[in-house]
Homo-oligomer: A and B are copies of this chain.
Protein backbone atom coordinates (compact mmCIF):
# COMPACT_ATOMS: atom_id res chain seq x y z
CA UNK A 1 0.00 0.00 0.00
CA UNK A 2 1.34 3.42 -0.98
CA UNK A 3 0.57 7.05 -0.28
CA UNK A 4 1.44 10.01 -2.46
CA UNK A 5 -0.25 13.18 -3.71
CA UNK A 6 -2.55 13.08 -0.68
CA UNK A 7 -4.13 9.70 -1.38
CA UNK A 8 -3.63 5.94 -0.92
CA UNK A 9 -2.67 3.82 -3.94
CA UNK A 10 -2.51 0.03 -4.27
CA UNK A 11 0.30 -0.07 -6.82
CA UNK A 12 3.89 1.18 -6.47
CA UNK A 13 4.18 2.56 -10.01
CA UNK A 14 3.71 6.32 -9.86
CA UNK A 15 4.44 9.29 -12.11
CA UNK A 16 7.85 10.43 -10.90
CA UNK A 17 10.31 13.19 -11.76
CA UNK A 18 13.56 11.54 -12.89
CA UNK A 19 15.46 14.69 -11.84
CA UNK A 20 14.39 14.00 -8.21
CA UNK A 21 17.38 14.65 -5.96
CA UNK A 22 16.40 11.85 -3.59
CA UNK A 23 16.83 9.37 -6.43
CA UNK A 24 19.89 11.02 -7.98
CA UNK A 25 21.85 12.12 -4.89
CA UNK A 26 20.24 10.53 -1.80
CA UNK A 27 19.11 14.08 -0.95
CA UNK A 28 16.27 13.21 1.41
CA UNK A 29 15.21 11.47 4.60
CA UNK A 30 12.98 8.64 5.69
CA UNK A 31 11.33 7.15 8.74
CA UNK A 32 10.18 3.63 9.55
CA UNK A 33 7.51 3.00 12.16
CA UNK A 34 5.42 0.17 13.54
CA UNK A 35 1.69 0.02 12.89
CA UNK A 36 -0.41 -1.94 15.38
CA UNK A 37 -4.21 -2.09 15.38
CA UNK A 38 -4.17 0.50 12.62
CA UNK A 39 -2.19 3.02 14.66
CA UNK A 40 1.43 4.18 14.51
CA UNK A 41 3.39 3.44 17.69
CA UNK A 42 5.29 6.52 18.93
CA UNK A 43 3.59 8.68 16.29
CA UNK A 44 4.60 12.05 17.72
CA UNK A 45 8.27 11.11 18.37
CA UNK A 46 8.47 9.81 14.80
CA UNK A 47 7.03 13.04 13.41
CA UNK A 48 9.32 15.10 15.67
CA UNK A 49 12.42 13.27 14.46
CA UNK A 50 11.33 13.50 10.84
CA UNK A 51 10.74 17.25 11.20
CA UNK A 52 14.17 17.77 12.80
CA UNK A 53 15.90 15.84 10.01
CA UNK A 54 14.03 17.82 7.35
CA UNK A 55 15.06 21.03 9.07
CA UNK A 56 18.70 19.91 9.31
CA UNK A 57 18.74 19.36 5.55
CA UNK A 58 16.61 22.47 4.88
CA UNK A 59 13.92 20.48 3.07
CA UNK A 60 10.48 22.11 3.40
CA UNK A 61 8.16 19.71 5.20
CA UNK A 62 4.45 19.58 6.04
CA UNK A 63 3.82 17.81 9.34
CA UNK A 64 0.12 17.65 8.50
CA UNK A 65 0.78 15.80 5.24
CA UNK A 66 3.20 13.41 6.96
CA UNK A 67 0.70 12.70 9.76
CA UNK A 68 -2.02 12.13 7.16
CA UNK A 69 0.19 9.66 5.28
CA UNK A 70 1.14 7.75 8.44
CA UNK A 71 -2.44 7.66 9.70
CA UNK A 72 -3.92 6.40 6.45
CA UNK A 73 -1.19 3.83 5.82
CA UNK A 74 -1.45 2.48 9.39
CA UNK A 75 -5.23 2.24 9.11
CA UNK A 76 -4.93 0.44 5.77
CA UNK A 77 -2.30 -2.09 6.88
CA UNK A 78 -3.47 -2.70 10.46
CA UNK A 79 -0.30 -4.51 11.54
CA UNK A 80 2.92 -3.79 9.77
CA UNK A 81 5.78 -1.53 8.86
CA UNK A 82 5.14 1.99 7.60
CA UNK A 83 7.78 4.01 5.84
CA UNK A 84 7.66 7.72 5.08
CA UNK A 85 10.12 9.27 2.60
CA UNK A 86 10.79 12.94 1.87
CA UNK A 87 13.08 14.03 -0.96
CA UNK A 88 14.15 17.54 -1.96
CA UNK A 89 12.31 16.90 -5.25
CA UNK A 90 13.43 17.67 -8.78
CA UNK A 91 16.19 20.03 -9.70
CA UNK A 92 18.80 21.00 -12.24
CA UNK A 93 21.85 18.73 -12.46
CA UNK A 94 24.65 19.18 -9.93
CA UNK A 95 24.97 19.45 -6.18
CA UNK A 96 23.89 23.06 -5.39
CA UNK A 97 20.48 23.23 -3.72
CA UNK A 98 17.58 24.34 -5.93
CA UNK A 99 16.39 27.84 -5.02
CA UNK A 100 12.74 26.80 -4.99
CA UNK A 101 12.63 23.16 -3.90
CA UNK A 102 9.49 21.14 -4.61
CA UNK A 103 9.84 18.31 -2.10
CA UNK A 104 8.27 14.92 -2.77
CA UNK A 105 6.66 13.09 0.14
CA UNK A 106 5.53 9.50 -0.17
CA UNK A 107 4.79 6.56 2.07
CA UNK A 108 4.58 2.79 1.93
CA UNK A 109 3.15 0.11 4.21
CA UNK A 110 4.12 -3.54 4.23
CA UNK A 111 3.09 -6.54 6.33
CA UNK A 112 4.82 -6.86 9.70
CA UNK A 113 8.13 -8.70 9.44
CA UNK A 114 8.35 -12.09 11.13
CA UNK A 115 9.44 -11.85 14.79
CA UNK A 116 13.19 -11.30 14.89
CA UNK A 117 15.23 -14.24 16.13
CA UNK A 118 18.14 -13.78 18.49
CA UNK A 119 20.61 -11.77 16.41
CA UNK A 120 24.13 -12.90 15.49
CA UNK A 121 26.43 -9.90 14.96
CA UNK A 122 29.56 -9.52 12.83
CA UNK A 123 31.78 -6.45 12.91
CA UNK A 124 31.89 -4.73 9.52
CA UNK A 125 35.07 -3.25 8.06
CA UNK A 126 33.08 -0.14 7.06
CA UNK A 127 33.33 2.56 9.72
CA UNK A 128 30.38 4.73 10.68
CA UNK A 129 31.43 8.27 9.69
CA UNK A 130 30.76 10.29 12.85
CA UNK A 131 32.07 13.43 11.11
CA UNK A 132 29.01 13.51 8.83
CA UNK A 133 25.68 15.00 9.93
CA UNK A 134 24.13 12.21 7.85
CA UNK A 135 25.33 9.69 10.47
CA UNK A 136 22.83 11.19 12.94
CA UNK A 137 19.97 11.69 10.46
CA UNK A 138 17.89 8.96 8.84
CA UNK A 139 18.84 10.02 5.32
CA UNK A 140 18.46 8.14 2.05
CA UNK A 141 22.25 7.54 1.94
CA UNK A 142 21.93 3.96 3.22
CA UNK A 143 24.37 2.19 0.94
CA UNK A 144 27.01 1.67 3.66
CA UNK A 145 24.38 -0.18 5.70
CA UNK A 146 23.49 -2.38 2.72
CA UNK A 147 27.16 -3.20 2.09
CA UNK A 148 27.80 -3.86 5.79
CA UNK A 149 24.83 -6.22 6.00
CA UNK A 150 25.99 -8.01 2.86
CA UNK A 151 29.43 -8.44 4.49
CA UNK A 152 27.84 -9.75 7.71
CA UNK A 153 25.60 -12.16 5.79
CA UNK A 154 28.66 -13.57 4.00
CA UNK A 155 30.09 -14.36 7.46
CA UNK A 156 26.84 -16.09 8.47
CA UNK A 157 25.69 -13.28 10.75
CA UNK A 158 22.28 -11.63 10.70
CA UNK A 159 23.36 -8.10 11.51
CA UNK A 160 26.43 -5.91 11.06
CA UNK A 161 28.04 -3.98 13.92
CA UNK A 162 29.56 -0.63 12.93
CA UNK A 163 32.49 0.93 14.75
CA UNK A 164 33.11 4.60 14.03
CA UNK A 165 36.33 6.30 12.91
CA UNK A 166 37.49 6.57 16.53
CA UNK A 167 37.07 2.83 17.12
CA UNK A 168 33.98 3.34 19.27
CA UNK A 169 31.03 0.97 18.93
CA UNK A 170 28.32 2.86 17.00
CA UNK A 171 25.28 0.89 15.86
CA UNK A 172 23.97 -2.00 13.80
CA UNK A 173 23.09 -1.64 10.11
CA UNK A 174 19.48 -0.82 10.93
CA UNK A 175 19.21 -0.66 14.71
CA UNK A 176 20.69 1.00 17.77
CA UNK A 177 22.76 -1.08 20.17
CA UNK A 178 22.69 -1.38 23.96
CA UNK A 179 25.04 -3.23 26.28
CA UNK A 180 23.89 -4.53 29.68
CA UNK A 181 26.32 -4.53 32.62
CA UNK A 182 24.59 -5.91 35.71
CA UNK A 183 21.57 -3.63 36.24
CA UNK A 184 22.99 -0.86 34.07
CA UNK A 185 22.41 -0.28 30.35
CA UNK A 186 24.70 1.75 28.09
CA UNK A 187 24.29 2.93 24.51
CA UNK A 188 26.64 5.02 22.33
CA UNK A 189 25.95 8.77 22.31
CA UNK A 190 24.69 10.39 19.11
CA UNK A 191 28.11 12.05 18.72
CA UNK A 192 29.53 8.62 17.91
CA UNK A 193 27.54 8.70 14.66
CA UNK A 194 24.30 6.96 15.58
CA UNK A 195 20.69 7.64 14.71
CA UNK A 196 18.38 9.02 17.42
CA UNK A 197 16.16 5.92 17.42
CA UNK A 198 12.67 6.30 18.83
CA UNK A 199 12.83 2.98 20.73
CA UNK A 200 16.36 3.89 21.88
CA UNK A 201 14.95 7.11 23.38
CA UNK A 202 12.05 5.25 25.01
CA UNK A 203 14.36 2.66 26.58
CA UNK A 204 16.67 5.37 27.96
CA UNK A 205 13.66 7.19 29.40
CA UNK A 206 11.94 4.16 30.97
CA UNK A 207 15.00 2.35 32.36
CA UNK A 208 15.39 4.38 35.59
CA UNK A 209 11.75 3.78 36.58
CA UNK A 210 12.38 0.04 36.19
CA UNK A 211 15.33 0.24 38.55
CA UNK A 212 18.08 0.21 35.93
CA UNK A 213 20.90 2.67 35.44
CA UNK A 214 20.99 4.10 31.90
CA UNK A 215 23.67 6.12 30.14
CA UNK A 216 24.76 7.35 26.73
CA UNK A 217 28.46 6.64 26.79
CA UNK A 218 31.18 5.66 24.30
CA UNK A 219 32.68 2.18 24.53
CA UNK A 220 34.90 -0.01 22.38
CA UNK A 221 34.72 -3.66 21.34
CA UNK A 222 36.81 -4.84 24.30
CA UNK A 223 34.37 -3.24 26.75
CA UNK A 224 31.39 -4.58 24.79
CA UNK A 225 32.80 -8.10 25.02
CA UNK A 226 32.55 -7.86 28.83
CA UNK A 227 28.80 -7.07 28.76
CA UNK A 228 26.31 -9.48 30.35
CA UNK A 229 23.98 -8.99 27.42
CA UNK A 230 23.60 -7.01 24.19
CA UNK A 231 20.38 -5.95 22.57
CA UNK A 232 19.30 -4.07 19.46
CA UNK A 233 16.50 -1.52 19.34
CA UNK A 234 14.55 -0.34 16.33
CA UNK A 235 10.98 0.50 15.42
CA UNK A 236 10.50 -2.96 13.89
CA UNK A 237 13.02 -5.10 15.78
CA UNK A 238 11.76 -3.45 19.01
CA UNK A 239 14.12 -4.92 21.65
CA UNK A 240 16.00 -7.82 20.04
CA UNK A 241 18.57 -9.75 22.09
CA UNK A 242 21.93 -10.39 20.38
CA UNK A 243 23.22 -13.91 21.03
CA UNK A 244 26.69 -13.52 19.59
CA UNK A 245 29.28 -11.04 18.40
CA UNK A 246 31.72 -12.76 16.05
CA UNK A 247 32.76 -15.88 18.09
CA UNK A 248 31.77 -14.48 21.46
CA UNK A 249 28.41 -15.75 22.83
CA UNK A 250 26.12 -13.66 25.04
CA UNK A 251 23.23 -14.99 27.13
CA UNK A 252 21.22 -11.96 26.04
CA UNK A 253 17.98 -13.88 25.41
CA UNK A 254 17.98 -15.11 29.03
CA UNK A 255 18.92 -11.76 30.60
CA UNK A 256 16.48 -10.42 33.19
CA UNK A 257 17.14 -6.76 32.32
CA UNK A 258 16.38 -7.47 28.66
CA UNK A 259 13.17 -9.31 29.61
CA UNK A 260 12.00 -6.48 31.84
CA UNK A 261 12.65 -3.88 29.14
CA UNK A 262 10.88 -6.03 26.52
CA UNK A 263 7.83 -6.32 28.79
CA UNK A 264 7.82 -2.56 29.40
CA UNK A 265 7.99 -1.92 25.65
CA UNK A 266 5.08 -4.31 25.01
CA UNK A 267 3.10 -2.41 27.66
CA UNK A 268 3.93 0.91 26.00
CA UNK A 269 2.79 -0.38 22.61
CA UNK A 270 -0.48 -1.68 24.05
CA UNK A 271 -1.06 1.57 25.93
CA UNK A 272 -0.69 3.60 22.73
CA UNK A 273 -2.13 1.21 20.13
CA UNK A 274 -4.29 -1.30 22.06
CA UNK A 275 -3.81 -5.05 22.38
CA UNK A 276 -3.67 -7.36 19.37
Interface, chain A (partner B; CB < 8 A): 2, 4, 12-20, 22-27, 30, 32, 57, 81, 83, 85, 87, 90, 92-97, 106, 108, 110, 113, 125-127, 129, 131-134, 139-147, 149-150, 153, 165, 173-174
Contact call A23/B25, Cβ cutoff below 8 A: no
Contact call B126/A23, Cβ cutoff below 8 A: no
State the CA gap A14–B14 with chains docked (Å).
8
State the CA gap A2–B17 with chains docked (Å).
11
Q: Which chain B residues lie closer than 8 Å to A57 at the CB level?
A: 143, 147
Sample of 13 further A-B pairs with CB below 8 A, known A2-B18, A23-B23, A26-B141: A13-B18, A14-B15, A20-B23, A81-B93, A83-B93, A95-B145, A126-B129, A127-B132, A129-B132, A132-B144, A134-B143, A141-B141, A165-B165
Contact call B94/A26, Cβ cutoff below 8 A: no
Given A85-B24, A146-B27, A147-B132, A18 contacting B106 (CB threshold 8 A): yes
State the CA gap A257–B68 with chains docked (Å).
60
Q: Which chain B residues lie closer than 8 Å to A133 at the CB level?
A: 126, 147
State the CA gap A106–B18 with chains docked (Å).
8
State the CA gap A17–B15 with chains docked (Å).
9
Residue of B nearest to A17 (CB): B12
Contact call A96/B15, Cβ cutoff below 8 A: no
Chain multiplicity (copies): 2
17 contacts between A and B (CB under 8 A): A12-B19, A18-B108, A20-B23, A24-B83, A24-B85, A25-B140, A26-B141, A26-B143, A57-B143, A92-B110, A93-B110, A95-B149, A96-B153, A126-B132, A139-B143, A141-B141, A141-B142
Nearest CB of chain B from residue A214's CB, rounded to whole Å: 28
State the CA gap A149–B90 with chains docked (Å).
18
Task: State which of B22, B127, B146 has its C-beta within 8 Å of the C-beta of A165.
Answer: B127
Q: Which chain B residues lie closer than 8 Å to A94 at the CB level?
A: 113, 174
Contact call B19/A108, Cβ cutoff below 8 A: yes
Closest 9 A/B residue pairs (Cβ): A16-B16, A26-B26, A141-B141, A127-B131, A129-B129, A25-B142, A165-B165, A141-B143, A23-B23
State the CA gap A87–B85 with chains docked (Å).
17
State the CA gap A123–B237 with chains docked (Å).
39
Given A13-B17, A144-B134, A173-B95, A22 contacting B25 (CB threshold 8 A): no
State the CA gap A19–B1 with chains docked (Å).
11
State the CA gap A173–B97 with chains docked (Å).
14
Contact call B97/A150, Cβ cutoff below 8 A: yes
Residue of B nearest to A144 (CB): B132
